[in-house]
């Protein structure tokens, strides 16, 4: 169960809530992780059609994915990365299907109607269209005062 988990990252503080949960789940189940970030700026959305070079934002997103993956690999996990371009819900679903993931992990910010209208809701679109189970982790509204437990062993797990 959950041999390959697609982890949708935002390149922001919300990821601090998601990554510790997913790293522990992957360690317990022996799952492979595939980190995805969807660049959705103008350059990213028009990259293929106009033959554009990667924008500074896309370069920073790729560095963030690689850095996050390196941290998880340092904790002994098998991790791949994918920087997608375009519409986040569509790219998350397309990648999950193409890569044969059996779980999609994302953060939720707890917006209500007005917040969803202003910020959009990737989760709403993904959950309505996905045939793959989705794990949602609530993002903390405040940065964590504690270091990330990514590299710490699980309680009760053999070292």
Q: Would the pLDDT of 159 be above 50?
A: no
Q: If you average pLDDT over residues 121-150, what whole number do you get?
A: 77
Domain ranges in the chain?
4-138
Q: Please list the alpha-helical segments (H only) found in 75-112.
A: 88-98
pTM: 0.82
d(CA 114, CA 120): 9
Pairing of strands 79-85, 103-108: unpaired
In the predicted model, is pLDDT for residue 155 greater than 50?
no
Cβ-contact 70, 19 below 8 angstroms: no
Q: How does the average pLDDT of the chain come out, rounded? A: 84
pLDDT at 111: 55
Summarize pLDDT for 94-132 with one digit per residue, the tens.
999 999 999 999 998 765 555 555 445 888 889 999 999
Q: Confirm or reject CATH 3.40.50.620 for domain 4-138, answering yes or no.
A: yes
């Amino acid at each position: 169960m959950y041999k390959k988990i697609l982890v949708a990252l935002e390149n922001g503080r919300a990821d601090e809530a998601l990554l510790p949960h997913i790293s522990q789940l992957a360690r317990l189940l022996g799952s492979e992780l595939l980190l995805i970030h969807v660049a959705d700026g103008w350059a990213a959305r028009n990259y293929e059609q106009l033959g554009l070079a990667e924008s500074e934002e896309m370069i920073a997103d790729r560095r963030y994915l690689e850095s996050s993956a390196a941290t998880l690999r340092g904790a002994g996990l098998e991790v791949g990365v994918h920087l997608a371009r375009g519409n986040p819900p569509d790219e998350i679903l397309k990648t999950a299907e193409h890569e044969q993931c059996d779980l999609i992990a994302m953060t939720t910010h707890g917006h209500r109607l007005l917040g969803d209208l202003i910020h959009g809701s990737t989760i709403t679109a993904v959950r309505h269209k996905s045939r793959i189970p989705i794990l949602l982790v609530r993002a903390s509204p405040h940065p964590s005062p504690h270091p990330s437990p990514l590299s710490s062993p699980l309680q009760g797990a053999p070292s």
